[in-house]
Amino acid sequence: MNVREYLGRSIAATGLALVLVAGAVSAQQPAKDYEPQVGQSGKDVIWVPTQLAMVNRMLDTAKVTKDDYVIDLGSGDGRTVITAAKRGATAHGIEYNPDMVELSKKNAEKEGISTKATFAKADIFESDFSKASVITMFLLTDINFRLRLKILDMKPGTRIVSNTFDMGDWEADEKFEVKEGCSSYCRGFYWMVPAKVEGTWKMGDSEIALKQTYQNVSGTVKKGNVIAPISNGKLTGDSITFTAGGTTYTGKVSGNKIEGTAGSAKFEATKS
């Protein structure tokens, strides 16, 4: 072997050794954890995290307990889902960004609640969240509006809480604001999905004609030739109350039947 060949082989061997050493060092160093940035673009909205004080107020307003199934639409880094799970609820987050989903799973594992707090990479508009008893969200009014019909088809009594953005002309049952521990995006809106009651109901020899605008009810109660307008009509989930002809009606709606009291007397009405 001449000097030129020897030097060439030595340089090649040295280069290979450096590559192998660099590869080994690289393999030993863990990949940098994903760190979301406030204001980063998402599929439908930019990401701005809900502050913890607001998360807690939203869950308080919805009266979340261990018996609830909470679904967070656009769950981001998972903080709302994790907080709900810490309260004993079963909670699930729907998030389109796969990095956010993996981050959320890691955060749940760190808290030791990964069995109660789960996450899925999915589009909220294509997801089934009908089994939730509580829906939380921090989206935009136009997105809430697009989800509104789907939400209104959920089981009566389902509680909905939104950070900052409302549902258009579906008036909130409650509005609130967090002043301590929250510096931005600190207003909230709460709704309860109302039963569907619009139509004509037979009540013995009387007839109840109901018109419904979300949780607000109007109409008439007719008995013989006497027609009394309905006032103060309100739905709270599957509970209905209204006044007609000086009598206050209070009842529970179950499909095509309402059972309750009219003044001191019991009544039952069936939708015709």
Contacts of 56 (CB under 8 A, 6+ apart): 83
CA separation for the pair 198, 195 (Å, rounded): 9
Does residue 72 contact residue 81 with C-beta atoms inside 8 Å? yes
CA separation for the pair 15, 30 (Å, rounded): 25
Which of 131, 155, 17, 11 lies closest to 71, judged by CA? 131
CA separation for the pair 93, 79 (Å, rounded): 10
Mapped onto helix, strand or coil, the DSSP state of residue 79 is helix
List strands edge to edge, sheet with 134-137.
117-121, 90-95, 69-73, 134-137, 159-163, 187-192, 174-177
- Over residues 72-119, the pLDDT tens digits come to 999 999 999 999 999 999 999 999 999 999 999 999 999 999 999 999
> Read out DSSP for 184-207?
SS-EEEEEEPPP---EEEEETTEE
Tokens of 167: 């549902």
- Over residues 215-250, the pLDDT tens digits come to 999 999 999 999 999 999 999 999 999 999 999 999
Which of 167, 156, 216 lies closest to 190, judged by CA? 167
- Give the angle subtended at the CA of 161 by the CAs of 62 and 118, to the nearest 5°: 85
Measured CA to CA in angstroms, residue 208 lies from 198, 242, 253 at distances of 10, 11, 14
- Over residues 30-70, the pLDDT tens digits come to 446 778 777 667 777 777 889 999 999 999 999 999 999 99
CA separation for the pair 24, 36 (Å, rounded): 29
**What pLDDT sits at residue 42?**
72
- Over residues 109-150, the pLDDT tens digits come to 999 999 999 999 999 999 999 999 999 999 999 999 999 999
